[in-house]
Structure 1
Amino acid sequence: MLVSIDAPYVDTSAADLGLALGGPELPALAVRDLRLPGGVRLRLRLLGASHQVVLPTPTGDLTETVACLPGRPPHLPGTLHDEPNGYRFTATVLRPAAGELRARVAALRADLADDPYALVGVFPGDPDAVTALAVRPDPPDGSVSWRTWHAYPQTNELVLTETVVALR
C-alpha cells in the first residue's frame, strides 16, 4: 500500500537513527494492521521519524522502533540477537552511486505499491524521501519477518533493516 504523507520529513540521515525495543506506540502518520496466514497479527506504523512495528505476543507486545528518537542517543546496530526472546535484527546503510538511489526508490515503490503486506510512505518535497515496510507473509520456519527501507535523498543514503522473530 502506497500512501502520500502530508507531513514534513523529520529524519535527517542514517547516523541519526536509533533502535528501540519496547515502549509505547508513538504518534503515527499511517498505520496498516495485518493478519498473516496462520493468524499472526502485526501493525506497521509510519512515523514522522521513521517506523514502528508492533507484534502482539502471548507475553505482551513486541514493539520495534527505528527512528530519530528525542532524548536518546542515536545508535542503529548492524546486528542485534536477543536469542532468549527469538528476536534478530540487522541493519545496513548503503550509499549508492550517483543516480542509483532514485532508481532503487522507484523500483521499491513499484514493487510494494500493491503488496497486501506492505506500507510505503512518500514524504512531500522529494519523491525519493520514502519509508517502506514489508512483511514476509508465510515464512517457512515458524517465524515472522519484515524488512524496512529508509531513503535519505539529502545524504544519498538507503538504510535497510531486516527483523526475524521466532514465534513460540
Structure 2
Amino acid sequence: MRTRIDTRFADSRAADLSLSYGLEPLPALTTLRVVLPAVELELRVLGASHQVVVGPGAATWPPSSISLWPSSWSETVACLPDRLGTLPDHEEAVIDGLRVRFAARCHRRLTAGELAAKVAGIVRDSENDDRVLVGEFPGVPYGVTALRAWPESGGAAWRTWHAYPQAGELVETLSAVRPA
C-alpha cells in the first residue's frame, strides 16, 4: 500500500536511529495489517522511523498470551528522545520467548541521483505487493519510509527502508522473528 503522508518531513539522520523491542504501539502516521500463516503483523510508519507489532490482535496492548506466540511483541527503529542513536549492524537474541534476528545497513553519502534510483526501485517493487507499506512525504523528493513483510520459518520477516534525503542516507533493516 502506497500512502502519501499528510505531515511535514522532519529532517533527521541515520545516526539518530535506535532499536527497541517490546515498546507499546507508538502514534503512527499510517499502518498496514498483514496476516501471515503463523502470525499477524501491523506495519507502522512513525515518520522516518518504523514499528512492527507482532502477534494476534497485533496493536492490542497489553499483549494477550497464546501458546505459539507467548506475547504480542514489537520492534521499533526510531529516533526516540530517551535513547541514544545506536542501531546495531547485526543482532540475534531470544526475547520474550521469541527468536529475533536483526540486521541494519546504512548507505551514506548518496548523491541525489543515487538516492532517487534506490527509492524508485523500492516504490516500483512494492506496487503489486499487498504486504508492503510505503509512506511518502510531500514536498521532499525521495522522502520515504517503507516496510515489506513475508512469512518465514514458522514466523515472520520484514525489510524496511528509511530515506533521509537531506543527509543523502538510506537505512535498510532486515528482521525475522519466530517462537524460540
Instruction: Please indicate, yes or no, whether the TM-score normalized by the shorter chain is above 0.5.
Output: yes
Amino acid at match of 1:46: V
Conservation of the 8 A alpha-carbon contact between 1:144 and 1:167: no
Query: Is 1:127 equivalent to 2:127 in the alignment?
Result: no
Conservation of the 8 A alpha-carbon contact between 1:14 and 1:93: yes
Q: 4+ residue runs of structure 1 moved beyond 4 angstroms?
A: none
- What is aligned with 2:177? 165
In 2: Cα distance, 1:126 partner to 1:107 partner: 17
Amino acid at match of 2:82: G
In 2: Cα distance, 1:131 partner to 1:62 partner: 21
TM-score by length of 2: 0.85
- What is aligned with 1:26? 26
For residue 97 of structure 1, report the CA deviation from its aligned partner: 4.6
Conservation of the 8 A alpha-carbon contact between 2:110 and 2:169: no
Aligned length: 165
- What is aligned with 1:145? 157
Question: CA separation of 1:16/1:97 partners in 2, compared to 1, >3 Å: closer, same or farther?
Answer: closer
Equivalent positions of 1:33-112 (< 5 A) are: 33-36=33-36, 38-56=37-55, 58-83=69-94, 85-95=98-108, 97-98=110-111, 99-112=113-126
For residue 110 of structure 1, report the CA deviation from its aligned partner: 1.2
The percentage of aligned residue pairs carrying the same residue is: 45
In 1: Cα distance, 2:11 partner to 2:51 partner: 14
In 2: Cα distance, 1:23 partner to 1:40 partner: 18
Unpaired runs of 5+ residues, structure 1, are none
For residue 60 of structure 1, report the CA deviation from its aligned partner: 1.4
Conservation of the 8 A alpha-carbon contact between 2:157 and 2:176: yes
- What is aligned with 1:16? 16
For residue 25 of structure 1, report the CA deviation from its aligned partner: 0.5
